[in-house]
A and B are shown apart, each in its own frame.
Chain A
Amino acid sequence: MKTIEQIEKIRNEKRKELELRINPEVVTQEKHILVCRGTGCTSSKSPQIIEKFREILAQKNIENVRVIQTGCFGLCAKGPIVVIRPEETFYAHVKPEDCEEIIETHIINGQKVERLLCKNMDGSIVHKLNELDFYKKQKRIALKNCGTINPEEIDEYIAFDGYKALEKVLTGMSQDDVIDVISKSGLRGRGGAGFPTGKKWSFTKMAESDQKYVVCNADEGDPGAFMDRSILEGDPHCVLEAMAIAGYAIGANQGYIYVRAEYPIAVHRLKVAIQQAREYGLLGKNIFGTDFCFDIDIRLGAGAFVCGEETALLESIEGKRGQPRLKPPYPASQGLFGKPTVINNVETLANITKIILNGAEWYASIGTEHSKGTKVFALGGNVNNVGLVEVPMGTTLREIVYDIGGGIPKGREFKAAQTGGPSGGCIPAEHLDTPIDYESLASIGSMMGSGGLIVMDDTKCMVNLAKFYLEFTVAESCGKCTPCRIGTKRMLEILEKLCSGEATEEDIERLEKLAINIKKASVCGLGQSAPNPVLSTLRYFRGEFTEHAVQKKCRTNECKKIAKIQINQDQCKACGLCQKQCPVGAIDGEGREKRTINQEKCIKCGTCIASCPFKAIK
């Protein structure tokens, strides 16, 4: 149990020690080698890199260099990532066998290992992290500490203003003051629906009860989204601190973090963090010597998508089958075990401490009129810089895809981006300049969702894409209500018919009618949003649906059953390479004859396309 003064002392001492992490100008003999220990880099051997660095440093008796594990740096495409501070050198794709050279060249000789440095889009070599195009338009609030601190060291968190917000709240703010600040900041739920956080807290505070709860929704189910995981892995204390603040604001003394069991690193770091916070008295009884008591426990989810829906999540915590409750009553009045409950998403909570410390006005100055602050996106798909990006609300899709994401690989065309995962919709090129916020995304038929952002190039079939997402929702429907349980299955069946050339135009109309009604009649957000991928692809790419139905044609050849591979007779040079490669002898023609494909024999494997040196086959 530490007093405010003791915490402050830790903060000041540790801050001096860690100054080099955030200030490249600091004069010091020390160096910190930061190695990403997020899930992505960990699976690419970053633990072995850390071990290797330590081993070499010990061998060489180098004492003023520390090797630190951190959370995610965001630029996952370049992982495993090693950053050396204070000089901010950013090494990409580091392997354990590179460690020796890094120590030798960089640490001992003060040079850069050029081959491990990144290049920007203009071809320039990047020497410092902040020079990377990837980071230029980002503003890291929720991800502030990710990549900077060791998530398993509470002192490092404290050094960067950790638990200062909780102290401020407990020693100088009333419950209403806190809610007021959060309300005025304009913060809205980052889990998808965008409900104003302050309002949620205020409703829960007003509900009268002997017991209330704070629940952190860390059941990140959107495939492709991993910002919540990264925050928990990189900065677990910021979530704990925010939950305690929420607990104070609404009058709760118990919190639960509902986190997927598939996130073992996040779960481990949370356990470590909770333990450390308890030891410091930052969780538990009479925090900072006040009357306020608050503790947090972890509940593991088994990975059902629907358990990200807040009421299904509550059911699951209560030990029941994870399926949604009908609302009203809302959790603010009857939540966990029937008690008033605030449920906030991880990313939402990650903004809280910063708002408390910097003020509502500061936060509200970032973003758009109705969507304040930043949003973290998990950028994936056909984009160069796959990773985690945090941008102010109102940043356009074009900026994210091209300026931050580095554009589309292999010089292909941008076709669409899917936001909000299986619950969201696709955004076509015509809306690339839409400033992204809750309202604008909804107005173009998509949604913010939890922040998955999948970029698709022109090789992607939008009918097939809709089918892909429906396969997911059909598998993840909980089965409670009819429209979602049977309706999504029927939608998928129609999409399968389309993709195999068995559908008619009438089927497209049936599909649309069904989609609209599932949206309206389903019980929970899963069913209500499940048709979005279909409705948005129909909205922007109806022509492709019609092609599948009428001409039995898939322009991308992704739909194998109706794919037609053809050799452009003008471009064919009769080299015969394709013929040699074709595994089923489906290519006709001899000698100098231009080659043609026997459609009856062709199995659409695409080998010929890859083999053609003249790009004559499509």
Chain B
Amino acid sequence: MNEEMITLTIDGVEVKTKKGNTILQAAREIGIDIPTLCFLKEINEVGDCRMCIVEVEGRRGFATSCIQKVEEGMIVHTNTPEVTEARRIVLDLILSNHAKDCLTCTRLGNCELQKLAERFNVQNIEYAGEMSKHEIDDKSPAIVRDFNKCILCRRCVATCKNVQEIGAIDCIGRGFESCISTMYDCSLNDVDCTFCGQCIEACPTGALHEKEVINEVWKKLKDPETYVVVQTAPAVRVALGEEFDMPIGTNVKGKMVTALKRIGFDKVFDTNTGADLTIMEEANEFMERMQGGGVLPMITSCSPGWVRFAEKNYGELLGHLSSCKSPYQMFGALIKSYFAEKYGIARDKICTVSVMPCIAKKYECSRPEMEVDGARDVDYVLTTRELARMIKQANIDFAVLQDSNFDDPMGEASGAGAIFGTTGGVMEAAIRTAVDTLEGKNIDQIEYKEVRGEKGIKEACLKVAGNEVRIAVSSGLANARKLMEQIKEGKSPYHFIEIMACPGGCVMGGGQPIKSAKVRSSVDVRKLRADSLYEIDEKSAIRKSHENPVMKQIYDEYLEKPGSHLAHKYLHTTYHPMKKYDID
């Protein structure tokens, strides 16, 4: 390591930092926390909000510390009376055009603007004046946009445009009339938005949030006639604790199950089991396609943001998508059929709730395809954040809860199901099952490290039963687009592709606890959550989906075999090309 270092002085403290670092980074290294608002590391480095301004000696005007690179001998002041006053006025101006209904805001306590107001001890708004008025867009089943709270930091725009490369939203209008909007100012519901929800994760305030269904779920829970079944996705358990001030990535599975039971759910099931089911079906489908000359590469379909993206952008390539429903939908369908029949509960009395790290699943569960014989597979999707709110509402002191186990008969899951929550996990799980099946024996080597990790596109070539199987794993829609363009051009070398809409997979889903820009700058949130899932896998007695006894039970008692007629009825779906913009 022979990195060039730069020496500069910040607030009288000499600091040596790497060449290429910004003043902001250098200051943070020595414990000087310059306030920021629009800055989102590597995603939105634009210097628009002006909170991070500092004085650099010998330079006219203020420097933008989130962008300005350090220079040798630079003398920086972050807290002179002049810069403090300017920064204070900037914050005052932002607050002057922000709906200050903090007590009733979903981001109460986790709002970067609120934190700054607290830090600056804002007691009154000096420059109060006319405020922008925007209608709330709540047409979509997934995302609510309340731009009365938008501070135009554009972190959402940068995320949508630069990370996901969708560009569903951007700034329209000028000056004070500027606002973030969509093509022709339509609802997000009617444009090319995929409902990945990454914009929500990027938003420092409550301008973007999921469409809450907490009250509807409470209503069902209080209704003695309704049998309410809940299931939780793999990624929820490694993030939920963060909402209760636990370290990022803490596995709170036991406490979560206890909390759900206390809330009053009649059954608490594990979506990991649904994931195992997905593997049974998906591995089977893949093998059939491989052996029967089906459409290849086959692409996973358990990320509804990705599916919506494909339907809106690659309508002609939908044959590549696996027909498997996503795990929680499969599971929901089985709860209302297999489980209902087995326990003699009228299916119309069952309400299925899923706790998901995802925003798009709120949309997915409302898709017309997602019902069998008039029964919705899943009635409500709650995000990890919504579950945390419900736990708080229920007077539950989460941190001190004892652990409980998921309910039977669908409570057991393999380690393969657990890793569904991270990018590469579905592929690894599918390969574990496919390899055993194709080789006709139990293969001990079950960890496929080449599909793990943060890289946007990962690939591997496996030798399976004498054949080459080329696989690719991608997360983030920008990477999905690259792989799809390859297919479109007829140049895709792969047989099997896993695609997740959210960068990093479900652990970084749009429904997960929101991390501030500062935390995102300094902590690898994805890795901490993903590592926790891999640890669950490692510690699991069963690490292959097909070895999960629950699978054997379900197929023996109900579905017969993967790909059977009944399996298709309950566990598979169809896709349809969608108009990118639904504009009249």
Q: Which residues of A contact B (CB under 8 A)?
A: 304, 321, 326, 474-490, 493, 510, 513-514, 517, 520-523, 528
Contacts and interface: CB of A to CB of B under 8 A. Distances in A.
A326 B67 contact: yes
Contacts of B96: 486, 490
Interface in B153-178: 170-171, 173-178
B47 A326 contact: yes
A283 B88 CA distance: 53
A483 B174 CA distance: 14
Contact of B49 (A477, A481, A493): A481
Contact of B61 (A480, A490, A528): A528
B86 A474 contact: no
Chain B CB within 10 Å — which of A475, A490, A513, A514 has the most? Answer: A490
B127 interface: yes
B93 interface: yes
Nearest to B61: A520
Contacts of B130: 489, 493
B90 A480 contact: no
A481 B153 CA distance: 9
A480 B48 contact: yes
B250 to A, nearest CB: 37
Contacts, number: 97
Contacts of B50: 481-483, 521-523
Interface of B: 46-50, 53, 61-62, 64, 67, 82, 85-87, 89-90, 93-94, 96-97, 126-127, 129-130, 152, 170-171, 173-178
B87 to A, nearest CB: 8
Given A321-B171, A489-B176, 12 more contacts: A326-B46, A476-B175, A482-B49, A485-B175, A485-B176, A486-B127, A488-B176, A489-B129, A490-B96, A493-B130, A517-B86, A520-B86
B93 A487 contact: yes
A520 B62 contact: yes
Contact of B89 (A321, A489, A517): A517
B175 A479 contact: yes
A481 B178 CA distance: 11
A36 B89 CA distance: 51
Contact of A523 (B47, B170, B174): B47
A111 to B, nearest CB: 57
Given A326-B46, A521-B50, A477 B174 contact: yes
B169 to A, nearest CB: 13
Contacts of B49: 481-482
A479 B178 contact: yes
Contacts of B97: 486
B152 A479 contact: yes
Contacts of B62: 520-521
Contacts of A510: 126-127
A489 B174 CA distance: 12
Contacts of B90: 482-483, 517, 521
A520 B171 contact: no
13 contacts: A321-B171, A326-B47, A477-B176, A478-B175, A479-B175, A481-B48, A482-B93, A484-B175, A486-B94, A486-B176, A490-B129, A517-B85, A521-B86
Given A485-B152, A513-B89, A528-B61, A479 B94 contact: no
B89 A483 contact: yes
B174 A490 contact: no
A489 B175 contact: yes
A597 to B, nearest CB: 34
B170 A488 contact: no
A478 B94 CA distance: 16
- Specify which of B48, B96, B170 lies most central, judged by the most chain A CB atoms within 10 Å of its CB: B48
A521 B89 contact: yes
Contacts of B127: 486-487, 490, 510, 514
B475 to A, nearest CB: 28
B48 A523 contact: yes
Contacts of B173: 479
5 interchain residue pairs of minimum CB distance? A479-B178, A477-B175, A486-B93, A489-B176, A490-B127
A510 B96 CA distance: 14
